[in-house]
Amino acid sequence: MKLEMRDRPGQLVAALKPISAVGGNIIAVIHQREAATTAEALDVQIVLELPEGRLEKLLELLREQGVNVVRIGEERLLYECTLIVIGHLMHTDLSDTVSRIDTTGSSEVTELSMVMPAIDSPSSARIIIRSTTRTEMKRAIQILRAVAEQKELLIIEPLEDA
Amino acid sequence: MMRIALLGFGSVGRGIARAILAKGLDITVTGIADSRSGIIDAGGVDLAAALARKDQGEPCGDPGISPMDVVERAEYDILVEVTPTDVETAEPALSHIKGALRRRKHVVTSNKGPIALAYPELRALAETNGVFLKYEATVCGAIPLIHAMQEGLAGNAITRICGVFNGTCNYILTRMAAEGLTYEQALAEARDLGYAEADPTYDVEGIDAGIKLVILANTILDMDTTLEDVERTGITLLSPEALQLAEDQDCTIRLIGEIIPRAGVLRVSPRIVSKIHPLVVEGTLNAVTVETDLAGDLTFIGKGAGSTETASAVIGDLLYIQSRHVQGS
The average pLDDT across B172-183 equals: 96
B237-289 pLDDT, tens digit each: 999 999 999 999 999 999 999 999 999 999 999 999 999 999 999 999 999 99
List, by residue number, the catalytic residues of B. 212
B191-230 pLDDT, tens digit each: 999 999 889 999 999 999 999 999 999 999 999 999 999 9
Q: Which pLDDT does position B217 carry in this prediction? A: 98
Residue of A nearest to B269 (CA): A156
- DSSP-based three-state secondary structure for B125: helix
A109-134 burial: b if 16+ Cβ within 10 Å, else e: beeeeeeeeeeeebbbbbbebbbbbe
Residue of B nearest to A82 (CA): B272
Please check whether residue A104 touches B, CB under 8 A: no
Residue of B nearest to A81 (CA): B272
Any domain includes B117: yes
Distance, in Å, from the CA atom of B284 to the CA atom of B164, rounded to the nearest integer, reads 10
**Quick check: B326 pLDDT over 60?**
no
Pick the more confident residue, B129 or A45: B129
Q: Is residue B299 located within the same domain as residue B313?
A: no
What domains does chain A contain, in order, with CATH numbers? 2-73 (3.30.70.260), 79-156 (3.30.70.260)
The CATH number for B172's domain is 3.30.360.10
Provide, as residue numbers in chain A, all residues whose Cβ is less than 8 Å from the Cβ of B256: 159
Share of chain B above pLDDT 70, in %: 98
User: Quick one: how far is CA B49 from the chain centroid?
Assistant: 27
Q: Is residue B123 located within the same domain as residue B189?
A: no
Q: Is residue B313 located within the same domain as residue B175?
A: no
pLDDT band at B328 (very low <50, low <70, confident <90, very high): very low
Q: Are B40 and B74 in contact (CB under 8 A)?
A: yes
Please check whether residue B246 touches A, CB under 8 A: yes
Distance, in Å, from the CA atom of B5 to the CA atom of B59, rounded to the nearest integer, reads 17
Q: What is the DSSP letter of B192?
A: H
Q: Is residue B122 located within the same domain as residue B174?
A: no
Tell me if B256 and A123 make a contact (CB, 8 A cut-off). no
Q: Is residue B111 located within the same domain as residue B175?
A: no
Q: Which pLDDT does position A72 carry in this prediction? A: 79
Q: Is residue B122 located within the same domain as residue B225?
A: no
Tell me if B272 and A82 make a contact (CB, 8 A cut-off). yes
Q: Which pLDDT does position A36 carry in this prediction? A: 54
What letter represents residue B232's amino acid? R
Instruction: Report the domain count for chain B.
Output: 2
Please check whether residue B250 touches A, CB under 8 A: no
Closest CA to A88 of A14, A151, A160: A151
pLDDT band at A64 (very low <50, low <70, confident <90, very high): confident
Please check whether residue B244 touches A, CB under 8 A: yes
Any domain includes B186: yes
B59-97 pLDDT, tens digit each: 889 999 999 999 999 999 999 999 999 999 999 999 999
Q: Is residue B288 located within the same domain as residue B317?
A: no
Q: Is residue B38 located within the same domain as residue B99?
A: yes
Any domain includes B238: yes
Give the range of the structural domain holding residue B192, as residue numbers without chain letter.
146-303
In whole numbers, what is the pLDDT of chain B averaged over residues? 95
Q: Is residue B128 located within the same domain as residue B188?
A: no
Any domain includes B329: no
B288-317 pLDDT, tens digit each: 999 999 999 999 999 998 999 999 999 999
Pick the more confident residue, B118 or A37: B118
Cα pseudo-dihedral A17, A19, A21, A26, rounded to 10: -100
The average pLDDT across B153-175 equals: 97
The CATH number for B137's domain is 3.40.50.720
Closest CA to B112 of B312, B305, B264, B315: B305
Tell me if B238 and A86 make a contact (CB, 8 A cut-off). yes
ipTM higher than the 0.90 cut = no
Residue contacts between A and B (CB atoms, under 8 Å): 65
Q: Is residue B106 located within the same domain as residue B151?
A: no
Which B residues 266-285 touch A at CB under 8 Å?
269-273, 277, 279
The average pLDDT across A118-133 equals: 90
Q: Is residue B246 located within the same domain as residue B112?
A: no
The DSSP annotation for B20-49 comes to: HHHHT-SEEEEEEE-SS-EEE-TT---HHH
Any domain includes B214: yes
Q: Is residue B137 located within the same domain as residue B192?
A: no
- Kindly give the residue spans of alpha helices, DSSP state H, lying in chain B: 11-23, 47-55, 67-73, 93-102, 112-128, 145-147, 167-179, 183-192, 201-204, 207-219, 240-247, 307-324
Distance, in Å, from the CA atom of A6 to the CA atom of A25, rounded to the nearest integer, reads 21
Q: Which pLDDT does position A17 carry in this prediction? A: 83
Q: What is the DSSP letter of B84?
A: P
